[in-house]
Amino acid sequence: MFKNWIRKIDLARTLYLILFFEFINVGYYCYYLSNHGYLPAPFALDKNDTLMDFYNPLFWVIKNGFYTTFNSVYPAINYFFLKIFSLGISPDQISNPFQLRNDFPILGIFISFIYVLIIWVVVNIGEWRKVNFSHKGLIFLACLLSVPVLFGLERGNLIFLALLFLALYLNASNPWLKAICLGLLINVKPYFAILLVQYLNIHQFNKVELIRSILITAAIFFVSGFFAGINFIDFFKAYLSFSKNTTLSVEGVVALPHSIAALSTIKALISFGEGSRYTFWFSLLKVINYVAVLILLCTVLLKKTTLLELLIASIIILTNFSISTGGYILIIYIVLIPYLLQSKEYKKLLFFILLIYALPVDWINFKELSYPYIYSYLGGNIYINNPGFFFSIGSIIRPLFNFSLLIIFLMSLFRKYPRMIYVD
């Protein structure tokens, strides 16, 4: 299949090819914005929601209602990070998050610059330093212009802060520093607790690191939460409620799907006709996704896997297991790429990541949707009547590529470890 390409992979030529495709993507997005007044797929259908993953929680930090009125499920590390941007802004100056964005656009520019800087830091630490390539600027540019990163930047999501702590966690050698970085990471985005799987393999069960990581994570959560004024009972209730009933809209889920489970929501937006077999198949995708993730989880817990395989599995599970993480979760592959580049065994997985990141397929129309009007922030705060919305084919094939990555990795594990449990 693509074994010859993987075997002969040349980093410089591959980077130029990736950048070529990414410039096609960026050129298309800019052209579409210029001609239509709003960004096309895969960016969210709500064109007035640009940067609001940053401005919405920031507004409630300023209003002192982050854990009361807003019922935030963000642990307090996020609160204190956002508090930095609230300095000098009086609660009486603003009445809603959109006014905050309109009155203080410099904050959006500043947070975008910080996120770009985080990408630069991430590709210059840890395993990236071992990649034998002199033009690190090209690596940075290829990561920055990837579709998931552009999607995350447009949303202004705090996932970039998690990306930084993930890179620092993998870069740290001191066990205490490593546990602190993991604790901060989980306190930014709690679903990163899946990384604890690395300590749970039955053949290399690491009780010391597991307990150390859990205790430090809990200490960071409760100490920072105390100073942020969290009512911990209400917080856990809000978090459980969010887990059961995610606040992500259907449009938000299918904008940049990362998991084939997200494709099951397409039937809510597209009428296939009563009794159509397509609705069943789209629903079945969710079952297939969760079964595959569960099999991978059991496999890496029970087989005598390597540390690299545990890391790869953890990140693949993170990007496949839940639609509530949002499409920007795909940016965490940036920290996995250098590990795969140096692995003869798993370098083949890069093929799917590169397709997810760079393949220019968003200009291909999949299904048009009818909306009477929209309000576009990037278009210059304008109303647009009868916009021509459509899902791109990229919204279908990216989660399929991601799922293929999971399956290929799982098959590799079964070939390498034919028995489920090894007895020493």
pLDDT one-digit tens code per residue, 91-138: 999 999 999 999 999 999 999 999 999 999 999 999 999 887 777 889
Q: In terms of pLDDT, which residue wins out, 250 or 305?
A: 305
Query: Which pLDDT value is given to residue 373?
Result: 78
Q: Rounded CA gap, 310 and 113, in Å?
A: 33
Q: Which residues pair with 376 in a beta bridge?
A: 382
Query: What confidence score (pLDDT) does residue 131 get?
Result: 85
Residue 390, classed as helix, strand or coil, is strand
Q: How far apart are the first and last CA of the chain?
A: 36
Comparing CA positions, the residue from 165, 75, 155, 60 lying closest to residue 112 is 155
Distance between CA 424 and CA 410 in Å, rounded? Answer: 23
- 384 against 317, higher pLDDT: 317
More confidently predicted of 243 and 32: 32
Please, which residues bridge with residue 196 across strands? none
Least confidently predicted of 31-45, 99-113, 365-379: 365-379
Q: What is the pLDDT of residue 289?
A: 92
SS percent in the chain: helix, strand, coil, step 5: 65, 5, 30
- The Cα 252–Cα 388 span in angstroms is 17
- Contact by Cβ (8 Å): 148, 331: yes
ω into 190 cis (within 30 of 0): no
Alpha-carbon distance values, 86 to 10, 49, 73, 421 (Å): 46, 20, 19, 53
**Mean of all residue pLDDT scores within the chain:** 88
Q: What is the predicted pLDDT for the residue at 41? A: 86
Tokens describing residue 122: 């991430």
At 321 the pLDDT is 86
